[in-house]
Amino acid sequence: MTASAADRAPAPVRETAGLTQEEAARRLADTGPNEVTARKPVRLHKRVLAQLTDPLIMVLLGAVVLTLAIGDHPDAIVIGLVVLVNTTVGVAQEIRADNAVAALSALTAPHARVRRAGAVCDLPAASIVPGDVLVVGEGDIVAADAELAEASAVLVDESMLTGESVPVDKESGATLSAGTVVVRGRGVAIVTATGASSALGRIAALLDQRREPTPLQRRLAALGRILAAVTLALCVLVFALGLVRGLPLGTMAVTAISLAVAAVPESLPAVVTLALALGARRMAARHALVRRLPAVETLGSVSVLATDKTGTLTEGRMVVQHIWTPRVSAELSGVGYEPEGDALVAGRLAEAHELEPLRELLTVTALCNDATLRPVDAEASDGRWAALGDPMEAALLTAAAKTGCPEPAELSVTRPRVGEAPFDSLRRRMSTLHKTDGDGLLVCLKGAPEAVLDRAVLHASPDALAQAREEAAHLAARGYRVLAVASGVRDDLPSPVTAAESGLALLGLVALSDPPKPHAAATLASCRAAGITPILITGDHPATARAVASHVDLVGQGDESDGDVVTGADVAAGRVPDLTAVRVFARTDPQQKLDIVEAWRARGAVTAMTGDGVNDGPALHRADIGVAMGARGTEVARQAADLVLTDDELSTVVAAVDEGRRVYDNIRRFLVYGMSGGAAEILIMLIGPVLGLPLPLRAGQILWINLLTHGLTGVAMGAEPASPGAMRRPPRPPGQHILGGGAWQRLLVLAAVVTTASLGAGLAAQALDLAWQSVLFLALLAAQLGVVLGLRARLLTRKNPFLPLSVLASTLLAAAALYVPFLSSVLETEPLDWAGAGIALACAPAGFVAARVVRNAFHPGQPTGAGGTSGLR
């Protein structure tokens, strides 16, 4: 055996032939399959029942029964279809959202190499049991929790579990977690836990819990309960007053039922569904895929954005950013693994004599390297270069290419490797030996500064070593991962190779990091402008977290609550009295992420959590809005999330929040419009008889008005564009009622104006001996159509042509109710002459002007022009 082969061989460990097939079968029967047990699926009928027991839906179901009782089958069909569509959409979204736990099973390796009875065989991961002997190598997904018995340069990517962006070196005796990926080396491990007992299983237990209703669902449920009670009381009052006045029992029963239908905005679920669906479609166009429709609105309520670091605030790829040599220091531009960028010295392009020491250093790092860069694939989803092997070593290859060093393929020919001493956690350095043009061998070494900047390794003066150590400490304090690089020449191949690690010349230091994305700071500034508090939760080192947070201006804004970086250990030990006072968390585990989210929610905040790894799954599931990275995220994160970002850009979350506020504004605008109209109809039926209008409106007329206002124009309101300044106002208070923030005052004012104008038109027509009931019918409809146009945030916008078209269609159908003989007979109306029509249509401007006036009123505590919190601007 050569010296090189001896250095590369794993250390001797205990021999094991593995379990026999009989013993494995017995253990499988005892422990069950190596799968994450999914929650028992909810039966379809229970899902449907849960949708139908929503208070507002129950009101609509009651309206169906009532309309059937009075023989109004068309209205009953319309309302029934609204209930059907709403229930179908809700059930479908819920089924999709419940797939998160199932994705954990899909993440585990489908097959694994296992040694049984002395032979290595390929088995389904589900059949692995505790005590099995796993054989793992580069690229393998670890199938179960295990303890390494043999390890040769094993490097494991644990980011999906820990959030740590840098792969972890593993030696004999170290543990491997299910779902992690071996990026380098080979090893043999003894399985210690499978299925629900594994790391993935424990995360699944945190994820396996039912979702709570969204803020919109809670608000609509409360509204439905209030609306049902108030409507019932008022309709009973109208019914009783009619009987007192001596009107027929049947007539008043039908009228009371019609009022009940009119008072309930039965198109609200349709408006909500349309607004959410349109919002989801617009979000998809802006690279945000919505998995649960209610999440669209919830985004508009977000007051806290908890973001991870790797791939969200940062590029998610290691990059050499700074190089220090005894002769020159340089910054490297460019991101990712693309070999595009420049070497900058003091802010200018490096000159030829300055590039020489940089190329010498980076050539050594390219030789002392086991990674491979893959050129951009035209068919790749992100169109970026990829790396095979240690991300840090891949970043070194990229840096070498940026400075004009020979390509790895050329180096392998001109400087073939003849020996190596792999990196391990004890030596904390790696060295390789290469043939040169002459008789000697080139020694290339890289490693942790404390393992290289040593007089036992380097031939350097004390002052030179002190200078290098000071520079390394400075770079590490800035959050960089620092490597020291050295080289030398030997006459022959030493045995072992590690004997060559002495008397070397220091070439310099390399500082690597996962750099922040270019627009991350601006995105967080946009969040703050919208009243959203951003916080960073990462599994990375505190120094790295602090450096990134400082770079994106997450800390250092003069906020006393910025504080210092808090670690997961601090959270677990209870050393943080108020988790909501912290802006940066490092070294967190899945349970601590849950604790942080829960702390904010207990304070009344609406939380959004971003993530891409398995470790993010529980927090994504628990937050009010879970946001997963679509390009680089795991399937577990995507399934647990409400929103998936196809471009992995945090700025897309801000765009989604803007869309969510638009949806909520439109829903509130419809409620003000629809409920003010319903209230006006009830008030007219109560006040009209007192003013000498015995039965102001008949049942059919009430239902026709209701159909045109709520059905056509009401649904069109769901497509209205965003209000100006929507992202310059704070999030609405989490406990605010859906009609809070001045909405109920607008509702009452509009109801009063519509009632007054309509009754005034009816009384004027009565005085002129016109068909006053038909005038009142048309006046009430015209006033409500005026209101719907007046409530528009952007009066002359062309972004929603459906609303003016629906107003036009409603006007034509109102005319049809008067002038088409069949409809006139059914609705008991009379054709109007120009005088009667003019009196009625004059109510439209009254409704329009009132709506424009109240749009800018009733903004408690909001400065003029600030946009308020009403959502009606």
Average pLDDT of the residues in 301-330: 89
Same domain for 396 and 380? yes
* pLDDT bracket for residue 862 (50, 70, 90): very low
Handedness of CA 475, 481, 487, 490 (dihedral sign): positive
Same domain for 344 and 493? yes
Q: Give residue 50's pLDDT.
A: 73
The total number of structural domains in the chain stands at 5
**Paired tokens of 452:** 């290289």
Average pLDDT of the residues in 281-288: 80
* pLDDT tens string 91-100: 664 565 444 3
Residue in 132, 157, 308, 642 annotated catalytic? 308
Residue at 261 is within a domain: no
Average pLDDT of the residues in 371-376: 81
Residue at 634 is within a domain: yes
- What contacts 825, CB < 8 A, 6 or more positions away? none
Q: Give residue 850's pLDDT.
A: 94
Rounded distance, CA 145 to CA 178, Å? 5
* pLDDT bracket for residue 752 (50, 70, 90): very high
Average pLDDT of the residues in 383-389: 75
* pLDDT tens string 176-194: 988 787 877 788 999 999 8
> What CATH number is associated with residue 507?
3.40.1110.10
Same domain for 736 and 848? yes
Using an 8 Å Cβ cutoff, are 536 and 527 in contact? no
Nearest to 522 by CA among 625, 654, 659: 654
* pLDDT bracket for residue 798 (50, 70, 90): confident
* pLDDT tens string 252-280: 765 676 566 656 665 566 567 667 777 77
Same domain for 712 and 793? yes
Rounded distance, CA 850 to CA 753, Å? 7
Residue at 247 is within a domain: no
Nearest to 241 by CA among 757, 688, 777: 688
* pLDDT tens string 510-541: 999 888 888 888 889 989 988 999 999 987 77
Residues of the domain holding 446: 319-513
Residue at 556 is within a domain: yes
Same domain for 477 and 606? no
Which of 629, 648, 667 finishes a domain? 648
Same domain for 617 and 714? no
Tell me, yes or no, if 54 is annotated catalytic.
no
Does pTM surpass 0.75?
no
Same domain for 387 and 509? yes
Range list of β-strands (E), 263-336: 288-290, 304-307, 319-324, 329-332
Q: Give residue 793's pLDDT.
A: 84
Q: What is the residue type of 737?
A: H
Using an 8 Å Cβ cutoff, are 566 and 586 in contact? yes
Using an 8 Å Cβ cutoff, are 428 and 483 in contact? no
Using an 8 Å Cβ cutoff, are 657 and 242 in contact? no
Q: Does residue 613 carry a pLDDT above 90?
A: no
Average pLDDT of the residues in 160-170: 71
Residue at 207 is within a domain: no
Rounded distance, CA 832 to CA 598, Å? 63
Q: What is the three-state SS of 560-600? A: CCCCCCEEHHHHHCCCCCCHHHCCEEECCCHHHHHHHHHHH
Same domain for 146 and 91? no
Which of 73, 88, 103 finishes a domain? 103
Q: Give residue 8's pLDDT.
A: 37
* pLDDT bracket for residue 834 (50, 70, 90): very high
Q: Give residue 246's pLDDT.
A: 79
Q: Give residue 376's pLDDT.
A: 66
Same domain for 617 and 749? no
- 529 to each of 110, 262, 523, 622, 730, how far by Cα in Å? 47, 41, 10, 26, 8
> What CATH number is associated with residue 549?
3.40.50.1000
Residue at 659 is within a domain: yes
**Paired tokens of 391:** 């991300």
Q: List residues bridging with 533 in a β-sheet.
A: 304
> What CATH number is associated with residue 142?
2.70.150.10
* pLDDT bracket for residue 169 (50, 70, 90): confident
Using an 8 Å Cβ cutoff, are 544 and 479 in contact? yes
- φ/ψ of residue 434, rounded to 5: -135, 145
Rounded distance, CA 484 to CA 464, Å? 13
Average pLDDT, the chain: 80
DSSP for 530-544, written as a single string: TT-EEEEE-SS-HHH
Q: Give residue 634's pLDDT.
A: 61
Residue at 210 is within a domain: no
Same domain for 678 and 792? yes
Q: Does residue 321 carry a pLDDT above 70?
A: yes
Same domain for 587 and 719? no
Residue at 726 is within a domain: yes
Same domain for 779 and 834? yes
Alpha helices in 606-698 (DSSP H): 617-622, 635-640, 651-687
Least confident piece of the model among 84-93, 129-138, 837-846: 84-93
Which of 479, 513, 547 finishes a domain? 513
Average pLDDT of the residues in 210-237: 69
Residue 225 or residue 44, greater confidence:
44
DSSP for 369-434, written as a single string: ---EEEPPPTT-SS---EEES-HHHHHHHHHHHHTTPPPHHHHHHHS-EEEEE---TTT-EEEEEE
Rounded distance, CA 271 to CA 254, Å? 27
Over pLDDT 90: what percentage of the chain? 30
Q: Which of 270-274, 331-335, 777-781 has the highest mean pLDDT?
A: 777-781
Q: Per-residue b/e over 30-40, b at no fewer than 16 CB within 10 Å?
A: ebebbbbbbee
> What CATH number is associated with residue 782?
1.20.1110.10
